[in-house]
Amino acid sequence: MIPTRPFAKTGIRVSALGFGPMALSLAGRPSAADAARLVEAVLDRGFSFLDTADTYCLGPDDLHHNERLIARAMAAPRAGPILVATKGGTRRTTDGWQVDGTPERLYQRICESHDALGGRASIPLWQLHWPDPRHSIAAMMQPVHRAVEEGLVRFVGVCNVSVAQLRQACDVLPIVSVQNQYNLWHREAETEGMLEYCERHDLVFLPWRPLGGDGLSQRLNEIKPLAELASERGISPQRVMIAWHLSKAQCILPIVGFRRLDHAEDCLGALTDALDDTDRRRLDALSASDLPRRERPAAWEGMPPLA
């Protein structure tokens, strides 16, 4: 089984690696039956932290698809608790995603997510998906505070925020997690103090796109030091990348996405692939010129830059 770790100060232990089933609801997704079988198999292997969002779907007529998929897969009794994290604060269009942190809409989406995830228990973890520059962090947190008081949400996190924005959210209600992009291409969590803040305040840091995302995760062999480390250890570059994350800070809980169970098995191997200081420094020393590049997807053009 997968090693577990405490999830901040929630009193809950979760798997040391999370699963992000987002791809099971996007273009090219498997059938509902195949997707459910994969999620069930992932849960059977001990993954107990799942990350989803209300807009992981094909378009505006398909909202909450990923949440409903998870709810169906979790219908069978499990030996231990499963912590599902969902998100709200974006709007799905036919072309992609747009930020929408309108407080009234946030509350409505929380209610919809609660129903999509089964409608019985509180949403274990709800996270603001993206700050909306049209609204203050305090204003966007008010409907979340209401949802907590009403029992719709148990714990709260924030995504794509700066340390200053995180502090503003903490002024409204307790925050247990931060989900920002973090990988070899995006190191802002290190340079701007987010990892240090999460460590100091016992928050969980959830790096999204830990392998670089589609188009880059398949090109890790082009990164010479990374490919050399993988060859020396006889493992995949993807496993080395996950091990790099785990070596960076105790607060980090990587979320990996996959559509095949053998990829899940490979990722799990990273939990025993500890990097020493020398190995970590080899990867830390990489600069932008050492890495393959990929243009920002057109669907992201409406999103603000990462805080």
Look up the CATH number of the domain holding residue 143: 3.20.20.100
Q: Per the structure, how many domains does the chain have?
A: 1
Burial per residue of 219-239, b for 16 or more beta-carbon CB atoms within 10 angstroms, e otherwise: ebeebebbeebbeeeebbbbb
Q: What is the pLDDT of residues 110-137, one digit of tens each?
A: 999 999 999 999 999 999 999 999 999 9
Contact yes or no for 17/271 (Cβ under 8 A): yes
3-class secondary structure for 243-290? HHHHHHCCCECCEECCCCHHHHHHHHHHHHCCCCHHHHHHHHCCCHHH
| 148 inside domain | yes
Residues 6+ apart with CB under 8 A from 26: 56, 57, 58
Q: What is the pLDDT of residues 185-205, one digit of tens each?
A: 999 999 999 999 999 999 999
Query: What mean pLDDT is reported for the chain?
Result: 92
In the chain, the largest separation of any two C-alpha atoms, in whole Å, equals: 54
| 14 inside domain | yes
| 196 inside domain | no
**pTM for this structure?**
0.93
Query: What is the per-residue pLDDT for 273?
Result: 87
| 101 inside domain | yes
**Helix 194-201 / helix 163-170 crossing angle, nearest 10 deg:** 30
| 51 inside domain | yes
| 44 inside domain | yes
Give 138's pLDDT tier (boundaries 50, 70, 90).
Answer: very high
Residues 6+ apart with CB under 8 A from 111: 147, 152
At residue 56, does pLDDT exceed 70? yes
Give 77's pLDDT tier (boundaries 50, 70, 90).
Answer: confident
| CA-based nearest residue to 21, from 62, 70, 68 | 70
| 169 inside domain | yes
Enter the tokens of residue 122.
């509180």
Contact yes or no for 241/184 (Cβ under 8 A): yes
Average pLDDT over every residue of 281-288: 93
At residue 93, does pLDDT exceed 90? no
| 203 inside domain | no
Q: Which domain holds residue 99?
A: 4-179
Query: What is the per-residue pLDDT for 307?
Result: 37
Which stretch of 89-103, 191-205, 260-274 has the lowest confidence by average pLDDT? 260-274
Q: How would you classify the pairing of strands 97-99 and 90-92?
A: antiparallel
Q: What is the pLDDT of residues 160-188, one digit of tens each?
A: 999 999 999 999 999 999 999 999 999 99
